[in-house]
Amino acid sequence: MPLTGKIAGALIIAISILALFSPMLTSHEPEKIALDSIKQPPGPGHLFGTDNKGRDIFSRVLYGGRISISIAIIAAFISMSIGLLIGLCAGYFGGIVDTLVMAIVDLILAFPSLLLAIGVSIIFPPGIYTVMIAIAFVGWASFARLIRGQVLTLKDAAYIEAARAIGCSRARILFVHLMPQCLPIGLVMAGIKLGGYVLTEASLSFLGLGAQPPMPTWGSMISMNRAYIASEPWMVLFPGLAIAVTTLCFNMLGDALRDKYGLPATAEKIKI
């Protein structure tokens, strides 16, 4: 793995530790309103300053990281599981199942992903679970396509034929013989996708469709504080920096993984 990938990996571990142990790293409560210390610039008392309700931005960024990163990881896991299952079936059974599944996959991949995620997140009441569902609803398609391709090349391998010959059931071939071969590439894909998922989560919560206040998320901090950008820019600067650095690290790691495992360098889905 190239140096950038290693650095990115190390930074991701550092960010995760910061997010995981945020209660120990900051003495300020992220949701506590302190009207005697509103709009304070960054300084020793408040590392990143305070917002218009006197809440400490440093601790809000740390706690927000917990939410954003865990949503991205869980959404990646759900997408991978659904994509794995559907891709396995589509690749193995072929025929009408394959045609149908691939038509749906093409449909989802052709549609602007953010609009689709917004549409899905409207169906359920806003919250962290809704964001996961929305991301996974859009995300499973690229996993399904990748896994299907993998299954198509494996399907005619000698060991699958042998399994069929000794009378293995379809379920056994699918889940015992094919799935372990597809899981690693699925995990690599999940790593590649994480950066995009962090960005999608931030975008949805920026639009007010993510975790609801007073829970701090990076996206909602930017959207709530953007009226103060001229006078108190730190309120917007630090949450955005958190999104940018986290996404950058995940994307760099994703690139390194892509190079290492020789996945096609498809264009990243742009968040508009």
Does residue 252 belong to the site contacting another protein (CB under 8 A)? yes
Interface pick for another protein out of 43, 45, 119, 213 (rule CB under 8 A): 119
Whether 22 and 43 have beta carbons less than 8 Å apart is answered as no
Neighbouring-strand partners of residue 56:
50
Does residue 96 belong to the site contacting another protein (CB under 8 A)? no
Our CA angle for 14, 19, 22, nearest 5°, is 115
Does residue 162 belong to the site contacting another protein (CB under 8 A)? no
User: Phi first, then psi: what are they for 122, rounded to 5°?
Assistant: -75, -30
Residues sharing a CB contact under 8 Å with residue 248, sequence separation 6 or more, in sequence order: 8, 195
Does residue 9 belong to the site contacting another protein (CB under 8 A)? no
Among 9-17, 22-30, 57-65, 232-240, which window interacts with another protein (CB under 8 A)?
A: 232-240
Amino acid letter at 239? P
Per-residue binding string, another protein, 187-226, x by CB under 8 A, is --------x---x--xx--xx-----------x--xx--x
Nearest Cα to Cα of residue 173 among 186, 160, 192:
160
Does residue 79 belong to the site contacting another protein (CB under 8 A)? no
Does residue 6 belong to the site contacting another protein (CB under 8 A)? no
Interface pick for another protein out of 94, 248, 261, 263 (rule CB under 8 A): 248
Does residue 171 belong to the site contacting another protein (CB under 8 A)? no
Does residue 110 belong to the site contacting another protein (CB under 8 A)? yes
Does residue 272 belong to the site contacting another protein (CB under 8 A)? yes
Joined together, the tokens standing for residue 73 give 């990881």
* DSSP state at residue 50: B
* Residue found by looking up tokens 């589509």 in the block: 90
How large is the angle between the packed helices 57-93 and 95-110, nearest 10 degrees?
150
Alpha carbons 90 and 60: distance in angstroms, whole number: 44
- Total binding residues for another protein by CB under 8 A? 39
Q: By CB under 8 A, name the binding residues for another protein.
A: 4, 110-112, 114-115, 118-119, 122, 195, 199, 202-203, 206-207, 219, 222-223, 226, 229-230, 233, 236-237, 239-240, 243-244, 247-248, 251-252, 255, 265, 267-268, 270-272
